[in-house]
Chains A and B, each alone.
Chain A
C-alpha cells in the first residue's frame, strides 16, 4: 500500500466548499419550492441564503476553473477521444459496480495523478462541471433578479422555461448528493476516499507481482 498525492489543496478546498454549499442549496431550494409543506426556515431566509450561497458557489467554481486551467492537472478532465475505448472502460466500470463488487473483484480503475477518474466519473464530471453547473449558475443568476435580466430570460423562452431548467438540474443534484458519497465509500475501506479528499493522498493498493 502506498499513498499518491492526487487531490491538490485548491481542489480539496473547492470540493468541501462545494459539498457544503450544495447541501445548503438543496435544502434551501426544497424550502423555497415547498414552503408550507416543509418549514425549516422562513421563505425569506431560505431565499436570502439560497442567493448568497449561490454566489459563493459561483466564486468557488472559478477557483476550480482557474486552478485546472493554469495547471497541468487539467489532464484529469481530458476526455477519452476514442468512443470505443471510452465505452469499453465505462462498461467495465459499470460491470464492476453492478456485479464485480459483489464478488469482491478489484476495481478495474487504477488511480494515478493524471487519471484519477474512472471512465464513468470522467464522463459524469465533464457533463456536471462544464454543462450542468454553468447552466445552473446562469439560470440561478437570471432568477435572482428577474427584472434586471428580463431580456435574457425572454431570449431563453421566459421565466417558466428558465425556472423549469433550474429545477430539473436541481432535481439531478438532489439525487446526486446521495449517490456521490455512497460511491465515494466504495474504496478499499469505506472512508478511504473521504480521507483522501482531506489529506490529498489516495491510498493505493500495491499490485501483486
Chain B
C-alpha cells in the first residue's frame, strides 16, 4: 500500500494532474487484479478509462524538439475496439511514472526519434513480426537514414489497431496508401482493386497479399511477387502451357504484368547476376561501383551501347574472382505504379507478335540494374540496340526473344544465303546454256574413274 500523505499534489500542480491523481487513488486497488478490472463500461478497463480521462480530450498535445507537437489524444472508442484494448495502456506505457506524470519538461526528441524509440515497445510482444520487418525494404531504408522509412506506428495506429485490419478493411483505409498513393490510385482501377472495392472479403488481393506486410521486399528483386501471383493463380503455368510455347521460360523471362497490364509501358531490365553465387549482384554500402562504372562506360551519356556494356561487365568480373558476372534479362513493366495496371484475363496480351516481331514495343527501352544497398534496384539506361548487336551475343547471353531481338547481321546472312541459292543455280544454268550455244563442245573422253560395276546392276 502506497502512502499518499507526503505525495498529495500541491496547489501548484495543474487541475488536470489533480484529477488524475485522485482517480488513481480510487483505482489503485484494482491494478493488482487486472483480470477482474475489465469493465463493461465502454469496453475499457477502469485503468484505461482513467488514462483516457485526460488523453481522451481532443487537442491534448506535447511539445517536442524542433517545434513539433506530439498529439496525446487517444480516441476512446477506437482504442476500445482495438486489439490493444486487451492489454491496456500500461502494457506499452510501462515507462510512465504516475508520480511524475505528466512530465513537466519538454521532450527533447523529435517526433521521428520518439517513434523510432517506441518501435522497441512493439517488439516486446511482436518479436516474430519485428524479425520479418528487420529484413524488409522498409527496415533497410530506416537503417540507411531515410526519414520516410515507415515504422510500426506508421502502418498500425497503435491505439486503433484491429486484427488483420489490412486484410478485411475498405481499400481506402489501407496504410500503404499514405506513402504509395500513386500506386494505390492505379491499383484501385485494376482488376484486383475493383474486385476488392466491390467485395472486401471476396479474396481479391490488396497490397500486403502480394508484397507481404512486414517482410516487404523491393518489388523488382527476387521472386516474391511472382510467387504471390502464383499463390492465388496456382494453375497459371498449366493454363499457359496449353497455348504458350516455352511457357516455363516465359514465366522466368517475362513478369506477369508485362502481359497482364497490356496498357503499361514495358522495358527489358538486364540484371547483373553472379552466376557462381546464383544471386543478383548487390551494391555494397559505402562502396558505390555501379553509378561510377556506368557513367565511365557511357562517356557520351547516351546510354550504354554494346561495347560499353562489355566493358562494364569486364569491370564487374574483375571483382568476381570465383564466378562469372552475367546479365540476366527480364521483360518488365516500366514503372512501379504502372505494374499495378492489371486487367481481366481476357484483356491480357496473347498475341505472340506483340513481342516476337521486329521493332516490338517491349524491346525499345533497356536498362541495366544492380541491387542497391537498401534493396532497391539501381538502374542505368542502355541503348536499345544492345539487344540486337552481334557484339552483345556474349554480354546479353541471358536474354533473347526470337524475332523481337534478332541480330540484324544474321538477317543479312540469310538474305545472302537465299539469294545465293537462287542466283547461283540460275547463273550457272545460264552460263551452261550460253556455253552450249556459243562454245565448241569438248572432245574430251571420260576420265578414267572408279569402277562403275557392282553387284546391283541392270542394263537399260
Contact = CB atoms under 8 A, between A and B. Distances in A.
B13 interface: no
Nearest to B359: A36
Interface stretch (B15-23, B56-64, B123-131, B425-433): B425-433
Nearest to B390: A164
A157 B398 CA distance: 9
B358 A36 contact: yes
Contacts of A147: 246, 248-249, 251-252
Contacts of B458: 2-3, 5, 201
Contact of B459 (A3, A33, A101): A3
Contacts of B246: 144-147
Interface in A158-203: 158-161, 163-164, 167-168, 170-172, 174-179, 182, 201, 203
A71 interface: no
Contacts of A205: 446
B400 A1 contact: no
Classify chain A's interface size.
Answer: 35 or more
Given A103-B435, A110-B449, A158-B397, A3 B444 contact: no
Given A5-B457, A148-B248, A158-B326, A34 B403 contact: yes
Contact of A102 (B400, B420, B431, B460): B431
A182 B413 CA distance: 21
Interface in A90-133: 92, 97, 100-115
A189 B459 CA distance: 17
Interface stretch (A13-21, A43-51, A55-63): A43-51
A82 interface: no
B95 interface: no
Nearest to B421: A178
B453 A208 contact: no
B78 interface: no
A25 interface: no
A37 B358 CA distance: 8
Contacts of A4: 452-454, 456-457
A4 to B, nearest CB: 5
B432 A113 contact: no
Interface in A52-75: none
A171 B435 CA distance: 32
A60 B236 CA distance: 36
Contacts of B440: 103
Interface in B387-428: 392-394, 396-400, 402-403, 406-407, 410, 413-414, 417-418, 420-422, 424-425, 428
B410 A164 contact: yes
Interface in A1-43: 1-6, 30, 32-37, 42-43
A67 B211 CA distance: 60
Contact of B439 (A34, A47, A102, A176): A102
B442 interface: yes
Contact of B441 (A34, A92, A104): A104
Contacts of B446: 106-108, 110, 205, 207-208
A115 B450 CA distance: 8
Contact of A35 (B251, B356, B453): B356
Nearest to A8: B456
Contacts of B275: 154
B341 to A, nearest CB: 25
B447 A106 contact: yes
B436 interface: yes
B245 A207 contact: no
B357 interface: yes
Contacts of B318: none
Contacts of A141: none
Contacts of A35: 352-353, 356-357, 403
Nearest to B426: A182
A115 to B, nearest CB: 5
Contact of B397 (A101, A160, A171): A160
A46 B398 CA distance: 24
A204 interface: yes
A61 B27 CA distance: 94
B460 A2 contact: yes
26 contacts: A1-B460, A2-B458, A4-B454, A5-B454, A5-B456, A30-B414, A32-B356, A48-B245, A97-B428, A102-B431, A103-B441, A103-B444, A106-B446, A109-B450, A112-B450, A112-B453, A144-B246, A157-B394, A160-B399, A161-B393, A163-B402, A168-B410, A171-B410, A171-B413, A178-B424, A179-B425
Q: What are the nearest 5 A-B pairs in CB distance?
A: A158-B397, A178-B421, A5-B456, A36-B357, A110-B449
Interface of A: 1-6, 30, 32-37, 42-44, 47-48, 51, 92, 97, 100-115, 144-148, 154, 157-161, 163-164, 167-168, 170-172, 174-179, 182, 201, 203-205, 207-208
Given A103-B440, A147-B249, 14 more contacts: A3-B457, A33-B402, A36-B357, A47-B245, A102-B431, A103-B439, A104-B435, A157-B394, A160-B393, A160-B398, A163-B402, A167-B406, A168-B413, A179-B424
